Amino acid sequence: MEKKQHGDLTAGLLDDAPVAVDNPVKVQDLTFRDGHQSLFATRGRTEDFIPIAEDMDRVGYYSMEVWGGATFDTMHRFLGEDPWERIRTLKKYIKKTPFSMLLRGQNLVGYRNYPDDLAEAFVDRACENGMDIFRVFDALNDFRNFETAVKIIKKHGKHFQGAICYSLTESRMGGAVYNLDYYLRKAKDLEDMGADTICIKDMAGLIAPYDAFVLVKALKESVKAPIHLHSHFTSGMADMSLLKAIEAGVDIVDTCLSPWAYRTSHPAVEPLVAALRCTSRDTGFDLKLLARCSEYMEKISPKYRHLLDDRMSIIDINVLLHQTPGGMLSNLVNQLREMDALDKIDEVFRQLPIVRRELGQVPLVTPTSQIVGIQTVNNVLFDSPQERYKMITAQVKDLCYGLYGKTAVPIDPEVQKKALKGYPRGEQPITTRPADVLDPELGKAEADVQGLAKDMDDVLIYALYPTTGKRFLRWKYGHEEIPREVKTKTLEEVKTEEELVRKAKAGLLVEKCVKDAPEKGAGARTFNVFVDGEFFQVDVEQVGGAPVITSIVQAPQPTAVPQAAPVAAPTMVSVPPPPPKPAAAPAPPAAQPAPPAARPAAAAPVGGTSIEAPMPGMIIRYEVGEGASVNEGDVVLILEAMKMENSIASPVSGTVKKINFKDGDTVQKGDVLAVIG
Ligand code: CO
């Protein structure tokens, strides 16, 4: 039989004769990680993967991505699942197919650079627990942030996949920074580091099909390591880009089972398998087997549907217009909405490329997309014609100091100087590998959870996520009951809740009561909802910027009609009075809803200069106490908004006369945080 050439994809379809498959496309499945991370805020539960795990193992995937990214965070925080246990459990069912994970370089599976001792311990435990392939990336494409992880991966004889974040400054690959040369240079760097495979990580779905063709072809000609393409469907181009990359000779591509594909997720595997049939790059996969797996995913998907963006369109046209990741856009819109400034969105879009350039033309991926986006919002809202960068977030200061690594182009010197004025680590930026300036943390973490943590896996959960990690360990060892909203639900329960959510979304949110709930994480709120005369407590949380309902608990109704509750001016929320306690009666069998914590008065009763919250957020800490004297410009408190920390300074010199909130409190825009007299 005549051997067909790679690009000769139509051969065999015309004469219906089998074609020699000389180079089948290898496929990695992402359903158990990036699929639900992209569509359902990473809420996929292990119990929902087990029933098809063995079938998935039979498909013939190159690998299955089952861990890393946000899974570690959400599992211990929201699902009450031990993240390490997921690897071990799935390994029992998936014996042939290698496991892969997404590792955020020195950020591991968190959102900041961790010191080397933590990075070494984490990668070591991931290897020991059964991880085979490590897809390592860095938001700045600064591969010095890979060094520690790669050392441990290699020590264990595991597979190091070096990923390059795909970024653009205009609508197509090219320009002064993210051009073909840039990617080829980065790929060579990875090969020099010993990368077993090289991944183009197109996290925002920006890669255009013909750019994918040009890029893959050039990479295949200049590096030996197999090339892997990861592209999100967000803009609607990913199917086409995969096909063009396949024509150009890409070795491995990423897909999901169809029910968890498309939208901000990935191309579906089934159409790709069908499209490549009888070509020289036929995957050889059994479509019937895949259909069976997908049918199962379809069946359990109602459990997650409430987390899905419910717009009609499955593509986000804004990504095509602005080349910014979809998640980042929804964050910006949310932030502006909370500030009552949605009309400024066009100005944000106008300034975004300027701020990004000033901050070193960084790729826009977690966490840099958030850092650039929120700083742009701050600039649009707070800058004056006389002064730019009036409110600089702590994360931008860290970026300017060099704590994230080296940016693609130098940071604007003016902005850098302003950001580093009074910066605690020093006013001169570093040029070394960021982790070189970080102190070890593992010893302290071990000491902190002594008696609670049973092994290094436990210690690492705490070390990476101190607050929620410790709470999880308390759940795990029965020191604390797992809250209802964390426990798993049946399909039936989910359907009932879905109906409630539908009603709530239809405008039946009668009472908007923001309860201080720092233990639920930043941005988490509890709403008291009345639907058809029944009372529910609904937890809403900001996931990737979009509000997501995380739990609904039916509760006995407070007696007072909430709208009639006296609203204590000038607070922005009304609080229903607690239910009356029946005098001398036995305690009611059903738990009464906890009365929402009364929020501190937000008025400024004493004379002096009020410091008002410039934005809604959570108070991280007050830097001064009542009675302290402050100079104009001194930081009074740190306010967190959209996961970014803002220093709020005193506009005058004087004495702190009043502090109205405490650390961890949630505040609204305009609340008086402190009074200086
Ligand atoms: Co991805």
Q: Using one digit for the tens of pLDDT, what is the confidence trace for 126-173?
A: 999 999 999 999 999 999 999 999 999 999 999 999 999 999 988 899
- Expressed in angstroms and rounded, the spacing between residue 265 Cα and the centre of ligand 1 is 8
pLDDT at 70: 93
- Expressed in angstroms and rounded, the spacing between residue 328 Cα and the centre of ligand 1 is 14
pLDDT at 334: 79
- Expressed in angstroms and rounded, the spacing between residue 204 Cα and the centre of ligand 1 is 8
pLDDT at 533: 58
Work out the pLDDT band at 57, boundaries 50, 70, 90.
Answer: very high
- Expressed in angstroms and rounded, the spacing between residue 135 Cα and the centre of ligand 1 is 11
Residues 102, 145: Cα–Cα separation, whole Å: 14
Which spans in 238-344 are helix H?
A: 238-247, 269-276, 287-300, 317-322, 326-338
- Expressed in angstroms and rounded, the spacing between residue 234 Cα and the centre of ligand 1 is 11
- Expressed in angstroms and rounded, the spacing between residue 4 Cα and the centre of ligand 1 is 33
Query: Is the predicted pLDDT of residue 551 greater than 70, yes or no?
Result: no
- Expressed in angstroms and rounded, the spacing between residue 485 Cα and the centre of ligand 1 is 27
- Expressed in angstroms and rounded, the spacing between residue 489 Cα and the centre of ligand 1 is 27
Integer distance in angstroms from the first to the last C-alpha of the chain? 90
- Expressed in angstroms and rounded, the spacing between residue 517 Cα and the centre of ligand 1 is 30
Query: Is the predicted pLDDT of residue 491 greater than 90, yes or no?
Result: no
Q: Do the beta carbons of residue 307 and residue 520 sit within 8 Å?
A: no
- Expressed in angstroms and rounded, the spacing between residue 292 Cα and the centre of ligand 1 is 25
- Expressed in angstroms and rounded, the spacing between residue 592 Cα and the centre of ligand 1 is 43
Query: Is the predicted pLDDT of residue 45 greater than 60, yes or no?
Result: yes
Interval 188-215 mean pLDDT: 97
Residues 296, 200: Cα–Cα separation, whole Å: 30
Residues 525, 512: Cα–Cα separation, whole Å: 10
Query: Is the predicted pLDDT of residue 466 greater than 60, yes or no?
Result: yes
Residues 378, 239: Cα–Cα separation, whole Å: 36
Interval 595-601 mean pLDDT: 43
Which H or E run contains 617?
strand 617-622
pLDDT tens for residues 603-637?
Answer: 445 678 999 998 888 888 899 999 999 998 888 99
pTM of the model: 0.80
Residues 259, 299: Cα–Cα separation, whole Å: 9
pLDDT at 599: 46
Of 69-73, 446-450, 508-512, 599-603, which gets the smallest average pLDDT?
508-512
- Expressed in angstroms and rounded, the spacing between residue 59 Cα and the centre of ligand 1 is 22
Token representation of residue 29: 């499945």
> Which backbone phi and psi does 399 adopt, to 5 degrees?
-60, -45
Q: Do the beta carbons of residue 609 and residue 654 sit within 8 Å?
A: yes
pLDDT at 366: 80
- Expressed in angstroms and rounded, the spacing between residue 235 Cα and the centre of ligand 1 is 13
Residues 499, 262: Cα–Cα separation, whole Å: 25
Which H or E run contains 126?
helix 116-129
Q: Do the beta carbons of residue 438 and residue 114 sit within 8 Å?
A: yes
The closest of 590, 524, 576, 516 to 551, measured between CA atoms, is 524
- Expressed in angstroms and rounded, the spacing between residue 203 Cα and the centre of ligand 1 is 5
- Expressed in angstroms and rounded, the spacing between residue 110 Cα and the centre of ligand 1 is 15
- Expressed in angstroms and rounded, the spacing between residue 515 Cα and the centre of ligand 1 is 34
pLDDT at 469: 96
Of 59-73, 201-215, 311-325, which gets the smallest average pLDDT?
311-325
- Expressed in angstroms and rounded, the spacing between residue 281 Cα and the centre of ligand 1 is 24
Query: Is the predicted pLDDT of residue 425 greater than 80, yes or no?
Result: yes
Half-sphere exposure of 383 (CA within 13 A, CB side): 16
pLDDT at 557: 57
- Expressed in angstroms and rounded, the spacing between residue 34 Cα and the centre of ligand 1 is 6
> Which amino acid is residue 577, in one-letter code?
P
Q: Do the beta carbons of residue 162 and residue 198 sit within 8 Å?
A: yes
- Expressed in angstroms and rounded, the spacing between residue 625 Cα and the centre of ligand 1 is 44
pLDDT at 669: 86
- Expressed in angstroms and rounded, the spacing between residue 232 Cα and the centre of ligand 1 is 6
Tell me 576's DSSP state. P
What is the dihedral sign for C-alpha 122, 127, 130, 133?
A: positive
Work out the pLDDT band at 567, boundaries 50, 70, 90.
Answer: very low
If you average pLDDT over every residue of the chain, what do you get? 85
Interval 46-60 mean pLDDT: 98
Residues, the chain, total?
677
520 contacts: CB under 8 Å, gap ≥ 6: 526, 539, 541
Work out the pLDDT band at 490, boundaries 50, 70, 90.
Answer: confident
pLDDT tens for residues 284-328?
Answer: 999 999 999 999 999 999 999 878 887 899 998 888 888 777 678
- Expressed in angstroms and rounded, the spacing between residue 299 Cα and the centre of ligand 1 is 24
pLDDT at 192: 98
Q: How many helices (H) and strands (E) does the chain have?
A: 21, 19
- Expressed in angstroms and rounded, the spacing between residue 53 Cα and the centre of ligand 1 is 21
- Expressed in angstroms and rounded, the spacing between residue 399 Cα and the centre of ligand 1 is 23
- Expressed in angstroms and rounded, the spacing between residue 320 Cα and the centre of ligand 1 is 18
Residues 329, 317: Cα–Cα separation, whole Å: 11
- Expressed in angstroms and rounded, the spacing between residue 505 Cα and the centre of ligand 1 is 29
- Expressed in angstroms and rounded, the spacing between residue 60 Cα and the centre of ligand 1 is 21
Q: How far is CA 659 from the centre of its chain?
A: 33
- Expressed in angstroms and rounded, the spacing between residue 239 Cα and the centre of ligand 1 is 15
